[in-house]
Amino acid sequence: MLGFGGMADAGHASPSSATSAGLRLVAASKRYGSTHALRGVDLHLRPGRIVAWLGQNGAGKSTAVRLATGVEAPDDGCVELDGRVVAWRSVREARAAGVQAVAQELAQLPDLPVEEALHLGCLPSRGPFVDRGRLAREARAALARVGLDLDPRSRLGVHSPATRALIAIAAALKDEPRVLIFDEPTASLDRAQAGMLLERLRALRASGVAMAFIGHRLEEVLSVADEVVVLRDGLVVLRAGVAESSPSRIAQALVGAPAHAQAAWPRHDARAPEGVERLQARSLGSDAPLRPSSFALRGGRVAGVAGLLGSGRSELCLTLAGLVKRTGHVWLDGRPLADGVGATMDRGLLFAPEERRQDGLWLDLTIEETIALGLARRGGARDRVRSRAVAEALVARLRVKCRSIDDPVRALSGGNQQKVLLARLFAAQPVVLVLDEPTRGVDLAARADIAARVREVAGEGAAVLWTTSHLEELMEVSDDVLVVRDHAVVASAARAALDLDALVARLAEGAA
């Protein structure tokens, strides 16, 4: 019987003598179109041990979770449970075998009663009706196992993030799991709340559950994990015991270049001159969250944003783009920038989000229609002849592979979709261009095309902000570097004044 009550922390347990015990991904590969999300990885979760799965966005962590929990099947390789190959057809089958991820969707259901959140998809019934008495009894018992004493009829939204995280764990423990995967369980918690949650995980480890812990705060990882595995570009690039996993070693593994990256980036050894100051931020903050930060972006230059996962890179982009309410002050070309995404775009600050398919594109529009949305900011979208001419020119300039500009965006590869998104922004003649992971999930040739074309836009006078999970990419495309840590810009420097080792060391500061 699993439980937390009265258990002492067993410390970092030794590996099981039965090497096949627990859950394994064996030479597992998964592809989505031309993107290799996982490339023959081996991952092992043993009873009574916590393995930290770390990696930047797009490294393969989420894909590993989906394969491990029955959401998807590997294209190659297999999943094993206690040495036997399993081929789950659904999350329900994996859960029945004792393998599941702690539900993150509870945070999106603030009006759901706690007792129902603990029984998602399996409310106890009496005939055609929900058995309310049994529902409440089982809910109280599940909550007690994680040390919670609260009204099971209360709504999720009235409780703190830490309490909701424990409720999600209680829901998972109700099924007596053998393997649990925690995907960013402390992301919405402050450090005190996170510390309480980690104590619960240590007690759970002592009960013999095999666990994966996905997180971005290195101090938490090193305090709770027995082993650290770092994924990058779908490969395992570091596998080590926690005693051998210093913050600097982990940081190097997280941000190092993929093995094939050297040929991907066009070098520009002649750095851009100091251009006119296009954007100035003073004590800029938001509830994204971004803590007060001051910096400037100059025309003709690309400013790369360096930071580990969870540092606040994307939050900086969202704040600049006006997608969240800003605090502090922002000036664009010397004039105050009003709040709101509409006002921001009207002034020429344009944003390419990390999730292009979900947040940046209307996939059923044609290429021409998409680019015309950018041209509309300059008043040229109504002129069909001009609109087609601009679209044709940008498609050629970005080397978009398509049959014609009348093709729907949905029909294009991921890299070509990204190029169309950039074409839309280029058509609007940006003053400041904010790019969040613009090369994520695109092939090497497309990466090189995107980097070259963005530098051309900078050369025409725009200021560019470029975030990336790969430091070698950042060092190649950037003229300036902004260092982001703990949701704030903490330093800035000319790229020419930095080397890779010094930058890695700077990112690891404060993580020990």
Total length of the chain: 512
| Cα 330 from Cα 340, distance rounded (Å) | 12
Pick from 176, 204, 234: which residue ends a domain? 176
What does the DSSP assignment read for 86-99? E--SSHHHHHHTTE
**Is position 359 within any domain?**
no
Residue 143: pLDDT over 80: yes
Q: Does the pLDDT at position 302 exceed 80?
A: yes
Q: Which helix (H) or strand (E) holds 52?
A: strand 50-54
pLDDT on residue 449: 82
Q: How far apart are CA 229 and CA 181, in angstroms?
A: 14
316 and 273 housed in the same domain = yes
Q: What is the 3-state secondary structure (H, E, C) of 24-87?
A: EEEEEEEEECCEEEEEEEEEEECCCCEEEEECCCCCCHHHHHHHHCCCCCCCEEEEEECCEEEC
d(CA 292, CA 327): 8
Compute the distance between CA of residue 305 and CA of residue 435 in angstroms, rounded to an integer: 10
Domain assignment of residue 10, yes or no: no
Containing domain of residue 395, as a range? Answer: 365-428
The answer to whether position 85 is within a domain reads yes
Predicted confidence band at 4 (pLDDT cuts at 50, 70, 90)?
very low
The segment with the largest mean pLDDT, out of 167-176, 418-427, 492-501, is 418-427
Residues 6+ apart with CB under 8 A from 154: 113, 114
C-alpha closest to that of 309 among 103, 21, 61: 61
Q: How much helix, strand and coil, in percent to the nearest 5, is found in the chain?
A: 35, 25, 40
- Asked whether residue 406 is assigned to any structural domain, the reply reads yes
Could you tell me if 78 and 204 lie in one domain? yes
d(CA 512, CA 493): 23
CA distance 21 to 61: 22
The neighbour count for residue 183, using CB atoms within 10 Å, is 18
> Higher-confidence residue: 160 or 154?
154
Confidence band of 279 (pLDDT split at 50, 70, 90): very high
In the chain, the amino acid numbered 181 is I
Q: Would you give the distance in Å from CA 263 to the centre of its chain?
A: 26
Look at the block and give the residue holding tokens 């592979």: 401
Half-sphere exposure of 451 (CA within 13 A, CB side): 27
Domain count of the chain?
Answer: 4
At 420-459, the pLDDT tens digits run 999 999 999 999 999 998 987 676 567 788 888 899 999 9
**Residues 147, 433: Cα–Cα separation, whole Å:** 49
Q: Which residue type sits at 159?
A: H
pTM of this prediction? Answer: 0.64
Q: Are residues 423 and 434 in the same domain?
A: no
On whether residue 26 sits in a domain, the answer given is yes
Give the model's pLDDT for residue 106: 59
* Residue with tokens 């015990």, as numbered in its chain: 21
CATH number of the domain bearing residue 444: 3.40.50.300
Cα 24 to Cα 15: distance, rounded to the nearest angstrom = 14
Same domain, 203 and 232: yes
How far apart are alpha carbons 335 and 345 in whole angstroms? 14
Given 388, 403, 428, the domain boundary residue is: 428
Q: Is 136 helix (H, G, I), strand (E, B) or coil?
A: helix
% residues pLDDT > 70 (the chain): 87
Residues 226 and 216 in one domain: yes
Residue 162 in contact with residue 198, Cβ under 8 Å? Answer: no
Domain C-terminal end among 409, 428, 447: 428
- 69: phi then psi, degrees, rounded to nearest 5: -110, 10
pLDDT for residue 217 = 73
Structure confidence by residue, pLDDT tens digits, 32-71: 876 788 999 999 999 999 999 998 767 889 899 999 999 9
User: 272 in helix, strand or coil?
Assistant: coil
Side chain identity at 371, as an amino acid letter? Answer: I
- Check residue 507 and give left, alpha or beta (phi > 0: left; psi -120 to 50: alpha): alpha
Report the chain's terminal Cα–Cα distance, integer Å.
36
